């Protein structure tokens, strides 16, 4: 065992302890796969990352560092909030990118570009493949979620590294009121993302119901730290929840990979504009905000603020 620089970063929030934390070991060199997995299991966070030098071929293609991403039970080829949190930690620790305009991360899905978007970092959503789930699978998942067929507007299996069975539901209240049977979802073996587009009438109903739900869809007091970005923080356009019992996480607070694939799907189908804000985490007492933008070339960027909550060393 040896001391290694370590940070725990809260992602998709400008206020500490309201986003989704990721543990970042800034030097994962010399550790076995077993040691990496054991430490990730010990942190008991949805993801733990280990930074490494990029491979020679990736470095030649512009990569600044390599990241390995672990849940408590398995390694992931890509994940969104660990990407932003790892990049935040790498930059804070003195990392200098090869390019002045972007940071390039190497991970199992390949090279992921990250750009500075004012006070945020934003990653380029990886390529998405999507398909229609079978009627039988959709019925089983709907039953485990406790939703009726008429409440499901659309469904797709989304794959951008992680695979999500995504459901677009009829309104935000349906999403926020879900009380899934997590054991049933685990047995089905599907990670499930649910979302609903905010409508003014739905937003008013939510505000009337409770302060917790109003945080996702009502007028939001802008965080002073947001500065010039405060104007586009006023309200969310999409509410999202992510259930990942098959990998040991009943509900993920704020999920970058899911929001990336939802954006690519829902934009392509005309449900959302080329720039919007998603809210996630209200049902867990979090206040995650995910900023989505599609550039003129069609690339979707997924961004958010990050805050370092723990800075020190770990012995691994």
Token pair, residue 120, equals: 């945020």
Tokens 């909550």 locate to 309
DSSP SS3 for 125: coil
Catalytic residue check, 47: yes
DSSP SS3 for 286: coil
Token pair, residue 294, equals: 């599609």
Beta strands in the chain (DSSP E): 3-11, 20-25, 48-52, 65-70, 75-76, 103-107, 110-117, 120-124, 129-131, 152-159, 163-169, 192-197, 238-244, 249-252, 275-280, 288-294, 300-304, 306-315
DSSP SS3 for 255: coil
β pairing state of 192-197 and 163-169: parallel
Q: How far apart are CA 50 and CA 27, in angstroms?
A: 6
User: Of 47, 106, 213, 251, which residue is the catalytic one?
Assistant: 47
Q: How far apart are CA 197 and CA 263, in angstroms?
A: 11
Q: Which residues are catalytic?
A: 47
């Amino acid at each position: 065992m040896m001391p290694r620089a370590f940070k725990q970063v809260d992602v998709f929030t400008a206020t500490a302890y309201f986003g989704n934390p990721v543990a970042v070991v800034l030097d994962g060199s010399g550790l076995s796969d077993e040691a990496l997995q054991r430490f990730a299991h010990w942190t008991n966070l949805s993801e733990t990352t280990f930074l490494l030098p990029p491979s020679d071929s990736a470095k030649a293609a512009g990569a600044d560092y390599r990241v390995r991403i672990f849940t408590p039970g398995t390694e992931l080829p890509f994940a969104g909030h660990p990407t932003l949190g790892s990049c935040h930690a790498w930059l804070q620790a003195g990392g200098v990118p090869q390019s002045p305009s972007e940071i390039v991360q190497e991970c199992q899905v390949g090279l992921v570009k990250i750009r500075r978007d004012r006070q945020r970092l934003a990653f380029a959503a990886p390529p998405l493949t999507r398909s229609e789930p079978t009627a039988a699978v959709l019925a089983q998942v709907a039953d485990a979620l406790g939703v009726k067929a008429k409440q499901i507007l659309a469904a797709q299996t989304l794959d951008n590294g992680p695979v999500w069975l995504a459901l677009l539901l009829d309104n935000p209240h349906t999403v926020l009121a879900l009380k899934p049977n997590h054991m049933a979802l685990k047995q089905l073996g599907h990670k499930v993302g649910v979302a609903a587009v905010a409508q003014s009438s739905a937003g008013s109903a939510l505000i009337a119901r409770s302060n917790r739900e109003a945080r996702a869809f009502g007028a939001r007091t802008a965080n002073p730290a947001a500065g010039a970005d405060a104007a586009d923080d006023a309200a969310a356009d999409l509410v999202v929840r992510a259930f990942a019992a098959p990998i040991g996480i009943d509900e993920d607070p704020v999920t970058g990979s899911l929001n990336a694939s939802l954006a690519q799907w829902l934009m392509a189908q005309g449900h959302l504009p080329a720039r919007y804000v998603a809210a996630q985490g209200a049902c867990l007492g979090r206040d995650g905000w995910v900023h989505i933008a599609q550039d003129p070339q069609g690339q979707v960027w997924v961004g958010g603020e990050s805050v370092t909550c723990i800075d020190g060393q770990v012995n691994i």
